[in-house]
Amino acid sequence: MIALEELLAVATRRERMLSRRLAKGAAISEHAALARTLEKAAGGQSLRALVEARRVKQATHAEAQRERTIRRAERASEAKRRETPGDTSAWRAWFDGSALPNPGRLGIGGVLTGPLGETVEISAAVGHGDSSAAEYPALIAVLEAALSEGARDIVIHGDSRVVIDDMSAVAGSGIRSLTHHAARARALIERIGDVRLQWIPRARNGWADGLSRAALDSARADAAAA
């Protein structure tokens, strides 16, 4: 029999209540009563399968909650930063690219924020390929927005090791298939001035990631309506 602790971890409040009633009425242990209650809830599947399915669901929910907490904290931090007087030349940006499926349709997302509260959001479909093929166009779109806004001192965050490392390489020594993208990005950086690229974990790039996925959703909706 599955351990009581495992069953308690996946049982709902109602199921625990019902099992206590069953244990009292049938004069059986709490462990046996909870197992019976969950077996009934499992229907055609085994008790073990029910436990595993609920564990996966709980883990997925916990991860989603964690990401929402991180995003709320980042937004709060950004709002506080905007309220605090500081360097009036500093800008920040985030970029991300998505593919649905992978490879498949490509979407890019980007966010540019200025020291005086300026915010520019980028969300666009950019053709087909794999997710790596969308990362450079996302960076380029952010750089173009920065140039348009007159940014001169900017830190750009991205979760693509490929792009960040490729841009850090000596010109001409990076990935051959990305050379034209790298050349475009470097040309924009030269026109902007002080640009620093910084890698961040995917969990901290939710704003740009959401915009890239929104572009794919919009493109899918347009295709369905056509």
Domain count, the chain: 2
Range of the domain at 33: 4-63
User: Does residue 69 belong to any structural domain of this protein?
Assistant: no
- pLDDT confidence bin for 85, thresholds 50/70/90: very low
Whether 133 and 195 share a structural domain: yes
Q: What is the pLDDT of residues 9-63, one digit of tens each?
A: 999 999 999 999 999 999 999 999 999 999 999 998 999 999 999 999 888 888 8
CATH number of the CATH domain containing 132? 3.30.420.10
User: Does residue 79 belong to any structural domain of this protein?
Assistant: no
Whether 30 and 140 share a structural domain: no
Whether 91 and 202 share a structural domain: yes
Whether 48 and 123 share a structural domain: no
User: Does residue 56 belong to any structural domain of this protein?
Assistant: yes
Domain boundary among 31, 63, 95: 63
The total number of residues shown for the chain amounts to 226
Which residue, 165, 174, 102, is CA-closest to 132?
102
